[in-house]
């Protein structure tokens, strides 16, 4: 009998497993052949405290210390990146809204052009920036959390797509295509499939919606060294571009509702987003090295769903992180552990209530 069976092997499932292993035996099930295949493996890997709804901002702020001073003497997971917002004369309203929401400081255009020399001075009329945005070493974080989970006696198993969930006198029976497991408690960390898992468990879904986000990898534009460029964002988040490994990742920042799936980029949406990016720069896009898409899953109010489902003893929600899963993961995992243990969380009570699944029931 397993104490905690976690469905989903992304950053949420691994973080939950690492923390819950402090309370009992843990098994993490992942439907794909590798951990972190979907949203976690296709993240923009940014830490931006001012990005997202208020509960996400609070969780991200609470996560910063873990990233900067990891446990067990591990190295800092963050590295400098910075964020720059750019807009044209027709985007002043969107620019002003982003300036406030992201706590940015408007900068002289000459400074913006010096930092990112491909910006088009004939089009870009406003720019703002701050340096608090940082890259997250997501690959190392996933590896470290997997290792920590196993060191605490937990286990991960891949190629374990859940096909049936039933209640038992002792808790839950979770069946996959090849195995059956008995668990006292189930944690639903299934990302885009979280509502599907709830239905299997006999629960009415909460209305979590996966939304596709597309990405293209371009060669470094104009042969520039993009290493120290900030992440660029178009006003109104109509596109963004992020340097990574000497390349430039460009996204149309799409959020198209789709069914749970192994997502792929929509060619037309990608082309439209690249056109919005091209409008603001002097180097046209002549070649895509590769493209892909991931699913960001949102609750109806855009806020994650963390906590016990009052309709079913021993069933916990840990889903709906949207596009903020990595940057909020450390504080979120600690919150889940404290809720499961029956402890008073370190986070504000109003924040905990805002995250609870009870708000939809």
Task: Report which DSSP code applies to 231.
Answer: E
Using CA atoms, how far apart are residues 154 and 22, in angstroms rounded to an integer?
10
For residue 147, give every residue at least 6 positions away whose Cβ sits within 8 Å of its Cβ, in sequence order, or none: none
Q: Tokens for 155, please give them.
A: 């286990």
Q: What does CATH list as the number for 83-130+209-298?
A: 3.30.9.10
Q: What is the pLDDT of residue 229?
A: 98
CA pseudo-torsion sign 31, 36, 41, 45:
positive
CB 210 within 8 A of CB 296: yes
Q: How many CA atoms lie within 13 A of 170 on its CB side?
A: 10
Using CA atoms, how far apart are residues 188 and 308, in angstroms rounded to an integer?
10
Using CA atoms, how far apart are residues 14 and 28, in angstroms rounded to an integer?
7
**Helix runs in 138-193, H state only:** 138-151
**Helix runs in the chain, H state only:** 11-20, 54-68, 92-101, 109-115, 138-151, 194-200, 267-279, 325-341, 349-355
Note down pLDDT in tens along the chain; length 361 residues: 999 999 999 999 999 999 999 999 999 999 999 998 876 667 878 999 988 999 999 999 999 999 998 887 778 999 999 999 999 999 999 999 999 999 999 999 999 999 999 999 999 999 999 999 999 999 999 999 999 999 999 999 999 999 999 999 999 999 999 999 999 999 999 999 999 999 999 999 999 999 999 999 999 999 999 999 999 999 999 999 999 999 999 999 999 999 999 999 999 999 999 999 999 999 999 999 999 999 999 999 999 999 999 999 999 999 999 989 999 999 999 999 999 999 999 999 999 999 999 999 9
CB 85 within 8 A of CB 98: yes
H or E element in which residue 242 lies: strand 240-244
Q: What is the pLDDT of residue 41?
A: 66
Using CA atoms, how far apart are residues 264 and 241, in angstroms rounded to an integer?
19
Using CA atoms, how far apart are residues 298 and 319, in angstroms rounded to an integer?
8
Q: What is the pLDDT of residue 273?
A: 96
Using CA atoms, how far apart are residues 166 and 259, in angstroms rounded to an integer?
24
CA pseudo-torsion sign 183, 186, 189, 195:
positive
Q: Tokens for 70, please give them.
A: 């990891």
Q: How many CA atoms lie within 13 A of 306 on its CB side?
A: 30
Q: What is the pLDDT of residue 94?
A: 98
Using CA atoms, how far apart are residues 241 and 216, in angstroms rounded to an integer?
9
Domain ranges of the chain: 2-73+137-208+301-360, 83-130+209-298
Q: Which fold is adopted by the domain 2-73+137-208+301-360? A: FAD/NAD(P)-binding domain (3.50.50)
Long-range own/partner contacts, residues 143-149 (CB < 8 A, 24 or more apart): 144/70, 144/74, 145/11, 145/14, 145/15, 145/17, 145/18, 146/14, 146/35, 148/18, 148/72, 149/14, 149/17, 149/18, 149/21, 149/26, 149/28
Q: What backbone torsions phi and psi does residue 296 show, to the nearest 5 degrees?
A: -110, 125
For residue 75, give every residue at least 6 positions away whose Cβ sits within 8 Å of its Cβ, in sequence order, or none: none
Using CA atoms, how far apart are residues 315 and 357, in angstroms rounded to an integer?
11
Q: Read off the pTM.
A: 0.95
SS3 128: strand
Q: Tokens for 195, please give them.
A: 């509502």
């Amino acid at each position: 009998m397993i104490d905690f069976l976690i469905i989903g092997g992304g950053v949420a499932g691994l973080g939950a497993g690492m923390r819950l292993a402090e309370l009992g035996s843990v098994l993490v099930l992942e439907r794909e052949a590798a951990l972190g295949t979907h949203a976690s493996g296709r993240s923009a890997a940014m830490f931006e405290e001012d990005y997202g709804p208020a509960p996400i901002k609070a969780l991200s702020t609470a996560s910063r210390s873990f990233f900067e001073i990891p446990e067990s003497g591990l190295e800092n997971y963050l590295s400098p990146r910075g964020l720059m917002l750019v807009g044209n004369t027709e985007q002043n309203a969107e620019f002003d809204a982003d300036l406030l929401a992201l706590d940015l400081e408007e900068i002289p255009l000459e400074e913006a052009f010096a930092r990112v020399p491909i910006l088009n001075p004939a089009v870009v009329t406003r720019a703002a920036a701050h340096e608090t945005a940082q890259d997250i070493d997501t690959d190392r974080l996933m590896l470290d959390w997997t290792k920590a989970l196993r060191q605490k006696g937990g286990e991960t198993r891949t190629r374990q797509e859940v096909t049936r969930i039933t209640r038992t006198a002792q808790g839950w029976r979770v069946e996959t295509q090849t195995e059956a497991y008995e668990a006292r408690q189930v944690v639903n960390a299934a990302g885009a499939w979280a509502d599907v898992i709830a239905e299997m468990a006999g629960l009415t879904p909460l209305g979590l919606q996966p939304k596709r986000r597309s990405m293209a990898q371009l060669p470094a534009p104009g042969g520039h060294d993009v290493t120290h460029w900030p992440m660029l964002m178009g006003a109104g988040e109509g596109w963004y571009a992020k340097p990574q490994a000497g390349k430039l990742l460009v996204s149309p920042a799409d959020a198209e509702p789709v069914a749970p799936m192994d997502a792929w980029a929509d060619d037309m949406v990608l082309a439209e987003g690249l056109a919005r990016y091209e409008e603001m720069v002097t180097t046209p896009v002549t070649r895509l090295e590769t493209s892909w898409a991931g699913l960001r899953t949102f609750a109806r109010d855009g806020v994650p769903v963390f906590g016990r489902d009052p309709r079913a003893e021993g069933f916990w929600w840990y889903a709906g992180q949207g596009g903020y899963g990595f940057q909020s993961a450390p504080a979120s995992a600690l919150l889940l552990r404290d809720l499961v243990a029956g402890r008073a969380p370190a986070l504000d009570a109003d924040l905990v209530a805002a995250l609870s699944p009870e708000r939809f029931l």
